[in-house]
Amino acid sequence: MATPIQVAQNFLAAYYGEVEGTRANVQNFYNEGSMLSYQGEETMGINAVTKIQTQPRMKHGNTQVDCQPVPASGTYIITVVGQIQTEGETHLLQYMEVFHISVTQAAFLILNQIFKLVMI
């Protein structure tokens, strides 16, 4: 059985790989109950997918990842603090992201997601 940090690393590799790639299958990470807070703007379900698909292309550099299982639920809370670089830009932006995910045999489902740029 995978440790929580292995679950987080596997999820982030799959999710960020899709977000940084074609985004054609990003909807597979969400369902109608998925909630997204992106820079303070809250969306749900298909609107969350649209929000992610319409953002500028970005490359994620994860510097810190933590993960905890949620007891008796089979879900995980993942926190990420890192840097992103948007397409066409040379400077890096600091960001933090929190995921609450469910894991099935072959899929990850985002239940809740919070994304914020960190302005220092």
For the chain, give every domain's residue range: 4-117
Mean pLDDT, rounded, of the chain: 92
- pTM of the predicted protein model: 0.93
Query: Yes or no: is domain 4-117 CATH 3.40.1710.10?
Result: no
- Residue 90: pLDDT band (50, 70, 90) is confident
- Asked whether the predicted pLDDT for residue 98 surpasses 90, the reply is yes
Count CB-CB contacts under 10 A for residue 15: 22
- Asked whether the predicted pLDDT for residue 105 surpasses 90, the reply is no
Strand partners, 58: 86
What is the mean pLDDT of the segment spanning 10-31? 94
What is the mean pLDDT of the segment spanning 6-25? 94
Helix (H, G, I), strand (E, B) or coil at 103: strand
